[in-house]
Amino acid sequence: MKKIGFIGLGIMGKPMAMNLLKAGYALTVYDIVPERIKELVAAGAKAAASSKDVAKQSEIVITMLPNSPHVKEAVLGSGGVLEGAKSGMILIDMSSIAPLASKEIAEKVAKKGVVMLDAPVSGGEPKAIEGTLAIMVGGPQETFDQVKDILGAMGTSVTRVGEIGSGNITKLANQIIVALNIAAMSEAMVLAAKAGVDPEKVFEAIRGGLAGSAVLNAKMPMVLKGNFKPGFRIELHIKDLANALDTAHEVGVPLPLSSGVMEVMQALKADGKATDDHSGIIQFYEKLAKVQVRKA
């Protein structure tokens, strides 16, 4: 069985690494927060002192980090993966980063004989814990075939969508749809509450029809409880939409609705809610309408 390294044990990375351990994989882990490493070691992982150390001990290295600069630093920086990598190693970046950054990193690691896949995920913390993430992968078919079972320990939907960078293009498309779904849900439910109709009843009435969605089913119960504890933080969705807008403008695609919801998120960030779950988008509309959407 392949020796796997895992770098980045945050909200998403920790449960993903736990699921690899549960599946029986030998795992070496690293994070800049020592307490996170200890939790994984207690579950059976081996600790590493740096990203370089992870790569030295692994045939496959997985990174799960916040954004492009963090991945570049962990892979290409001093004490990074590339310094410890051997020719033939596979690097799977499961972070959500700019597609151009994925291509840039892939080109640089290829010079040392390392093959890279970009494999961002969707599903948030609950599905990371369950091991039911949707994983969208860019990179060579042959490499994808070698690691598909490993990815399957973390997700139930593992799809190769094209060459390197296409995984993150797919993730950006996903994040646009999720953001606009939450915004649409927010507008609709604030309207219902302000008009005196129980939003919980509205949710029950529409969830089985055309307006129903995985987003509605996941986020509306949180809103009704006023629970904005993050599964996926607003500040991270801002990052994804910034990458989406930058990429869209590079290829000549206007994104007017995405631009609008980006400004809603920026307003929430300015209001001190950057670390709320993205279901907290509804708070922007609640504030404007002077009403709260909560369970009666």
Work out the average pLDDT over 12-24: 97
- Show the domain range for 86: 3-163
Dihedral over alpha carbons 66, 67, 68, 73 (to 10 degrees): -40
Domain final residue, candidates 163, 192, 215 = 163
In this structure, the answer to whether residues 152 and 123 fall within a common structural domain is yes
Find out whether 160 and 118 touch, Cβ atoms under 8 Å: no
Domain count, the chain: 2
Q: What's the angle, vertex CA 28, arms to CA 61 and CA 42, rounded to 5?
A: 145
User: What band does 12 get if pLDDT is binned at 50, 70 and 90?
Assistant: very high
Domain final residue, candidates 163, 181, 209 = 163
Work out the average pLDDT over 12-29: 97
Q: Residue 238 has what pLDDT? A: 97
In this structure, the answer to whether residues 16 and 154 fall within a common structural domain is yes
pLDDT digit string (tens) for 243-289? Answer: 999 999 999 999 999 999 999 999 999 999 999 999 999 999 999 99
Dihedral over alpha carbons 227, 278, 185, 260 (to 10 degrees): 150
pLDDT of residue 102 exceeding 80: yes
Q: Residue 151 has what pLDDT? A: 98
Domain final residue, candidates 148, 163, 178 = 163
In this structure, the answer to whether residues 88 and 106 fall within a common structural domain is yes
Residue 294 lies in a domain: no
Residue 296 lies in a domain: no
pLDDT digit string (tens) for 114-143? Answer: 999 999 999 888 899 999 999 999 999 999
Q: Residue 220 has what pLDDT? A: 98
Work out the average pLDDT over 78-85: 98
- Per cent of the chain over pLDDT 70 is 100
Active site residue 287: no
Residue 225 lies in a domain: yes
Q: Which of 171, 219, 239, 273 is catalytic?
A: 171
pLDDT of residue 223 exceeding 80: yes
Q: Residue 296 has what pLDDT? A: 81
In this structure, the answer to whether residues 94 and 72 fall within a common structural domain is yes
CATH number of the domain that residue 265 is part of: 1.10.1040.10
Residue 94 lies in a domain: yes
Residue 13 lies in a domain: yes
In this structure, the answer to whether residues 39 and 116 fall within a common structural domain is yes
Work out the average pLDDT over 54-65: 98
pLDDT of residue 1 exceeding 80: no
- Per cent of the chain over pLDDT 90 is 97
Residue 191 lies in a domain: yes
In this structure, the answer to whether residues 139 and 179 fall within a common structural domain is no
In this structure, the answer to whether residues 119 and 211 fall within a common structural domain is no
Q: Residue 55 has what pLDDT? A: 98
Residue 36 lies in a domain: yes
In this structure, the answer to whether residues 101 and 183 fall within a common structural domain is no
Average pLDDT, the chain: 97
Work out the average pLDDT over 61-85: 97
> Which DSSP letter does residue 85 get?
-
Work out the average pLDDT over 172-176: 96
pLDDT digit string (tens) for 281-291? Answer: 999 999 999 99
CATH number of the domain that residue 93 is part of: 3.40.50.720
In this structure, the answer to whether residues 282 and 224 fall within a common structural domain is yes
Work out the average pLDDT over 24-37: 97
In this structure, the answer to whether residues 58 and 195 fall within a common structural domain is no
Q: If DSSP states are collapsed to H, E and C, what string results for the chain?
A: CCEEEEECCCCCHHHHHHHHHHCCCEEEEECCCHHHHHHHHHCCCEECCCHHHHHHCCCEEEECCCCHHHHHHHHHCCCCHHHHCCCCCEEEECCCCCHHHHHHHHHHHHCCCCEEEECCEECHHHHHHHCCEEEEEECCHHHHHHHHHHHHCCEEEEEEEECCCHHHHHHHHHHHHHHHHHHHHHHHHHHHHHCCCCHHHHHHHHCCCCCCCHHHHHHHHHHHHCCCCCCCEHHHHHHHHHHHHHHHHHHCCCCHHHHHHHHHHHHHHHCCCCCCEHHHHHHHHHHHHCCCCCCC
pLDDT of residue 231 exceeding 90: no
Q: What's the angle, vertex CA 65, arms to CA 228 and CA 173, rounded to 5?
A: 70
pLDDT of residue 91 exceeding 80: yes
Q: Residue 142 has what pLDDT? A: 98
In this structure, the answer to whether residues 71 and 193 fall within a common structural domain is no
In this structure, the answer to whether residues 257 and 231 fall within a common structural domain is yes
Residue 295 lies in a domain: no
Q: Residue 177 has what pLDDT? A: 97
Calpha distance 57→49 (Å, rounded): 11
Q: Residue 178 has what pLDDT? A: 97
